[in-house]
Structure 1
Amino acid sequence: MRVVVVSKSPPVIVRPSSSSVVPLTRVTEKLSSFDKPYALSLVTSFLVFEHPVHDAANTTKRALSYALVHYYPFTARMIVADDDGEFHMRCHGECVTFVAASANCTLKDAKLLEVSNGETMTSTLLDDLAVNSPAESYCPGDPLLLMQVTEFTCDGFVLGVTWNHGIADAVGMAQFLRAVGELACGFPFPSVIPARWDASLLSLPPFILELVASPEPLNHLIRIGISIPLSSINRIKVEFLERSNSQMCTMFEAVAAVLWQCRTRAIISDPESMALLSFAVNMCKHMGAKDGFYGNCIAIQQVVARSNTVVDADIVDLIKMIKRAKDEAAQPNQKEGVCKIIRTLDQQQRYNTLILSSWRNIGFEEHDFGGGMPARVMC
């Protein structure tokens, strides 16, 4: 197997192409209740483009500079304010970090176009395709956004984006990258007018905040690819339709039910112990977020059942449980009893917790930087 070598140029700073959008004085903005739990969290996504773009690195860097005119808070820094000791964003048009890189092989050679159980083979390579490893932690004062473009010998390229989760959730980042792609293609303005601080956004209830924050770093985890055949998913969807008065289930609900049951069967030691399924839900439509809002607006929904119930349940019944949890997203104030159970689980049986986050339909797969949409999206 060929050794893949990624050669990186020294990092450069990128600022908004127009200084007119930068505040003349340092502006400090508070984080929303949705932002606060993620102020020290980093997320990395990879967009694999199979078709070439002329001078991909410089094209992307220029478009990034144009996009920052409209999304200048990405140039801010996370700081701890003296008055309340909480994290705030300080905006004065600092910069974001950009790296141009090249690989000594094709995308196919690097197995970046394969979606299979062999994804673990690319773990080390993925770390090389981003400015920061996903396992690295964020420190106050670090850039909120880091971007790397790695060009391969086949003229394809990988866009690796690492960002502080406190500035945007995945939906917000997808909106930002769509703007970068549009500007790279020659559009004069992004198609969506961005809004970062939205006074109309409702606050997240405090008891949910306790569940959102990760109790400890997750850098001991490994990457692994698991494929669920589409034929199995379609069979489950048909079965659910036939047994639920023509009600349909989504692909996420079918996949979540399968993973929850299979994992519980694999790890169960005490049939009476509680098994928890936890997943993120986009709350924009429930919290009154404006069109174009790109800050955080997600909450964590939970499904709790005894392990033996999950192991023995009919898959249709598990999907119904997941659906009920999703329906509760519009009524978060009714969940305090469930939250008390989950806080107890967090201390005693955290290993029984399965956390899922679906990137399907977020928008990462729709970006075009001039050569077509990505062949693959990874995180």
Structure 2
Amino acid sequence: MEPQLKHKQEMTEINIDSPLIKFTVRRHEPELIGPAKPTPRELKPLSDFDDQQGLRGHIPVIHIYRSDSKMRNKNPATIIRDALAKVLVFYYPFAGRLKEGPGRKLMVDCSGEGVLFIEAEADVTLMQFRDALHPPFPCLEELLYDVPGSSGILDSPLLLIQVTRMLCGGFIFAIRLNHTISDAQGLVQFLTALSEIAQGATAPSTLPVWRRELLFARDPPRVTCTHHEYDELAETNKDNIFESDNMTQKTFFFGSSEVSALRRFVPLNLKNCSTFEVIIASIWRSRTIALQLDPEDETRMVCLVSEKSKLKSIFPKGYYGNTFAYPAAISTVGDLCNKPLGHAIGLLRKTKESVTEEYMRSFVDLTVIKGRPLFTFARSYFVSDVTRAGFDVLDFGWGKPAYGGPAEGGTSFRSFYMPFRNHKGESGIMISICLDSVVMERFVKELNKMLQYNNEHHALNFHTVSRL
């Protein structure tokens, strides 16, 4: 359903009273921004990886920019709006609408109808956000307004952008993407092109490549690998522990000292493991201990990691479709909790190494054979690694963002693993965890056990946000 758009100068004023910050947003009416020049009218099928059920939703991303003296008299909304029309000439499928064909096959009708754009002002400064400069962001619904009728999968805008100017001269750039069109790296490729044109370029430095047929199912489709992400697991009453009426979210920061402390538990044969493997294995183990599940139960860690660089033979430069894999590392609760950390690290490494070109082909074939199903959530914990996506370096002319990345925090079954610089200027990794408040207490206690230095307790940095 197409949203009803009014003249952009009409405004809506919203008073915000968040537990963390108070301010008012004055929002212009949304506009549809189409390509600046005529573009091809064609029907472009998505890949058989793009249109699986688990990607049929929207993902919000947010960037917060400081003021810049050389940009003092320039309106970021005007600059980005104009650049958006120009970049859509190259990325014209984003200006179209999704249709569904036989077998639930998704395709883009490149109609040129445009993407939604909102200009807004807020009587707030960057300093007022203080420690809240990370997900989950207070009042996200006002910094990225869900235009009525815009959030469907079919026949709805594929992008929604809101630019909110702040009193300090900085601004907030928020975008919502229909996930079937791109993954995080694909979105960053588009946003990089947008930022380049905003700064005066006439064309993107990397031209977009559609080529979604590269991830079409084979004929006939054939499953040649094991794909635990689609195992059919019956949910039990025990699974209710993952949701309660008293959920709490905490955002944890892992700097160099925290990572060094966790590495003390890594066995010699795994000393070359990555920081990602050390942190995620520690969280998986501590979280499982805190949940107090039956030792015979199965627990799964699903790591959503882009495989574009690993599988260069498949994807040409400029390809912006979904390319990540999410294999599941599996352990019994008893083994995970009672064996050393190396057990979890070894499982994660082995699972990641299983992703090959044949694995991807087999995975795509399986989704088609099964009718594009939803992946298994039962007793699974998903972690999305966006450290290499590039959200944190996008520059529209105001320099790199104070924050750039996912706009939402964790849920009971999913977290984001993202780069972050804390208030001390230290670079590290930030992860938001959402658990029942009692379980969260046990989780923090368990994780902090691993961070002791010579019998001195080292408290992990975290920020608490009550789930709304």
Q: Distance in 2 between matches of 1:334 and 1:371?
A: 42
Does the 8 Å CA contact 1:236/1:254 hold for their aligned counterparts?
Answer: yes
Per the alignment, residue 328 of structure 1 pairs with 354
Given the two structures, how large is their TM-score scaled by the length of structure 2?
0.68
**1:146 equivalent in alignment to 2:171:** no
- Contact between 2:229 and 2:327, CA under 8 Å: does it hold in 1? no
The AA in structure 2 aligned to 1:314 is P
Secondary structure at 2:327 match in 1: strand
Q: Which of residues 235, 252, 256 is equivalent to 1:227? A: 252
Corresponding residue for residue 375 of structure 1: 402
Q: Any idea what SS the aligned residue of 1:167 has?
A: coil
Residue in 1 aligned with 2:63?
Answer: 47
Deviation at 1:335, TM superposition (A): 8.9
Q: 1:85 to 1:355 in 2, by over 3 A?
A: closer
CA distance in 1, matches of 2:376, 2:386: 25
Matching residue of 2:424: none
Return the alpha-carbon distance in structure 2 between the equivalents of residues 190 and 88 of structure 1. Answer: 24
1:66 aligns with 2:91: no
Cα offsets for 1:130-179 (capped at 9, x unmatched): 1339xx95241110011011111111111101010111111100110011
Q: Distance in 2 between matches of 1:57 and 1:333?
A: 40
Question: Higher strand fraction: Structure 1 or Structure 2?
Answer: 2
Written as runs of structure 1 = structure 2, the 5 A alignment for 1:178-257 is 178-201=192-215, 203=217, 211=230, 224-230=249-255, 231-237=257-263, 240=266, 243-244=268-269, 248-257=272-281
1:244 to partner: Cα distance: 2.2
| Secondary structure at 1:108 match in 2 | helix
Secondary structure of 1:194 counterpart: coil
> 5+ unaligned residues in a row in structure 2: which ranges?
1-19, 235-241, 367-372, 407-468
Q: 1:76 aligns with which of 91, 96, 115?
A: 96
Counterpart for residue 334 of structure 2: 308
Query: Which deviates the most, 269-278 or 224-233?
Result: 224-233
Q: In structure 2, do the counterparts of structure 1 residues 219 and 377 end up closer, same or farther at CA, with 3 Å as the change threshold?
A: farther
2:121 matched residue in structure 1: 102
Greater fraction helix: 1
Instruction: Say if 1:85 and 1:319 are closer, same or farther in 2 by CA, change over 3 A.
Output: closer
Identify if the C-alpha distance between structure 1 residues 315 and 40 changes in structure 2 by more than 3 Å, giving closer, same or farther.
Answer: same
Paired positions, count: 353
Report the CA distance between 1:85 and its aligned residue.
4.6
Is 2:112 the partner of 1:93?
yes
Deviation track 1:22-53 (CA, whole Å, cap 9, x = no partner) reads 12x4x212121111115631011001112344
Match of residue 299 from structure 1: 325
Q: Which residue of 2 aligns with 1:272?
A: 296
How do 1:104-119 residues align onto structure 2 when only pairs under 5 Å count? 104-111=123-130, 114-115=133-134
Read off the aligned partner of 1:90 and give its amino acid letter.
Answer: D
Asked if residue 128 in structure 1 is aligned to residue 142 in structure 2, the reply is yes
SS in 2 for 1:128: helix
1:307 Cα deviation after fit: 0.6
Letter of the 1:278 partner, please give it. Answer: V
Q: Given the superposition, is the C-alpha separation of residues 311 and 238 from structure 1 closer, same or farther in structure 2, using an over 3 Å criterion?
A: closer
Q: 1:202 to 1:79 in 2, by over 3 A?
A: closer
Matched, 1:361 2:388: yes
Q: CA deviation at 1:232?
A: 1.8
Q: Identity, % of aligned pairs? A: 25
Q: What residue is the counterpart of 2:314 in the other structure?
A: 288
Are the structure 2 counterparts of residues 235 and 220 from structure 1 closer, same or farther at C-alpha, using a change threshold of 3 Å?
A: closer
The one-letter code of the counterpart of 1:35 is D
Secondary structure in structure 2 of the residue aligned to 1:188: coil
- TM-score relative to the length of structure 1: 0.83
Distance 2:345 2:177 in 1: 33
Corresponding residue SS for 2:23 = coil
**Structure 1 vs Structure 2 CA RMSD:** 3.3
> Secondary structure of the equivalent of 2:251?
coil
